[in-house]
Structure 1
């Protein structure tokens, strides 16, 4: 892991890191799983965290033994239905859904002139940031439509550094999902995992929850790596 002084930018996941939108995604996927006759479990919900729309749908179908039951056109229809449900749920979203401490942290690093990008698999992330009143702090956002691979492939986090004109080793990536942490590590960035230390054990730094995410805590953690 690099020295803290080398860090010039932060690359953020969105769902479950900045705001509670992961719960909105889970509810929309749960609705679709019920419609398809696939049992919804905590394990399935965890598998979908940080994963793109079509990959998530395929995981649900595989979980129910239905991966060969539908054409690609039918799958696209299901994915669009899920997104429609998600957008309806988003109508109630506002800044009160920002996770504890994250609004203050993002404002702090912006004022200290760190560069900030978003590496979310969600194509709705610009809308979410606007509704959270955080869009003004983000210098750049990775467009998931331009990516060839989803998490855990490192492409999205590598791109998150590139659009800031930074080297991967100059960036810290923030994630709450196993796939995301693997993506950050593969990109060559310092990984900051938020959540269960057993699930996120591959992260360089692990904080139990977002309230612990401060520059001072990150600096201290980088002196004593988690792995």
Structure 2
């Protein structure tokens, strides 16, 4: 039986993608590196340190680990400053409604995000109260596609993976859910999350009714 829901943050609850893009673009411009939206798409769902290494590989740049950490921190500072502009109006359409519905029906709910700024984002959205457990980039050492963040969340909820549904918008996120033996809901285009158990183009389509209809034998 499904008793828990685990949500990615960026692209599922809210869309900070544009803020991340702007921060990486600023860093890349300062460094004289090439960076565009196609490259930015490859960063979806992966950690900050993995992201900067993808950008460096693309630009054929080699730096020592200390410098890489400094640059990743600089990018994060730019991004965190931009979070101050977020408000309770910045939920993706349908996300707040789903979280409210899950709360009213008594399901356990966790966050499973690679972001180390998840708490800040949730506070800006006034969303902390929707979650029993917050798993973020500080919770585990291995980022997606390793299933560790989802396993952390389900363990803290006191539920086995097969009793949980993961909501993800990234290919690596769905890979992580599958690796951990979770049920999965993909948010986004087929070419990115078509390997999820069920896929919706947007969170607005991913209502509890639709999810229950698909996983009807599990409710």
Please tell me the TM-score bracket, short chain as reference: over 0.9
Mapped pair 1:178 → 2:147: no
Q: TM-score, normalised by structure 2?
A: 0.95
Q: Which whole-Å CA distance do the structure 2 matches of 1:137 and 1:146 have between them?
A: 19
Aligned-residue CA RMSD in angstroms?
1.4
Match of 2:17 among 14, 18, 22: 22
What are the equivalent positions in structure 2 for 1:52-201 lying under 5 Å apart? 52-66=47-61, 68=62, 70-201=63-194
Q: TM-score, normalised by structure 1?
A: 0.92
Q: Which whole-Å CA distance do the structure 2 matches of 1:36 and 1:61 have between them?
A: 11
Check 1:146–1:99 CA distance in 2 against 1; reply closer, same or farther (3 A cut): closer
Shift of 1:144: 2.3
SS in 2 for 1:211: coil
Q: Deviations over 1:53-81 (max 9, x none)?
A: 11111111011111x2x111111110111
Partner of 1:3: none
Unaligned regions of 5+ residues in structure 1, if any? 1-5
Moved over 3 A (4+): none
Q: Which whole-Å CA distance do the structure 2 matches of 1:202 and 1:94 have between them?
A: 33
Q: Deviations over 1:114-166 (max 9, x none)?
A: 00111111111011101101101100111422412111111111111111000
Q: Deviations over 1:46-103 (max 9, x none)?
A: 111111111111111011111x2x1111111101110110011111100111000110
SS in 1 for 2:191: coil
Shift of 1:223: 5.3
Partner of 1:8: 3
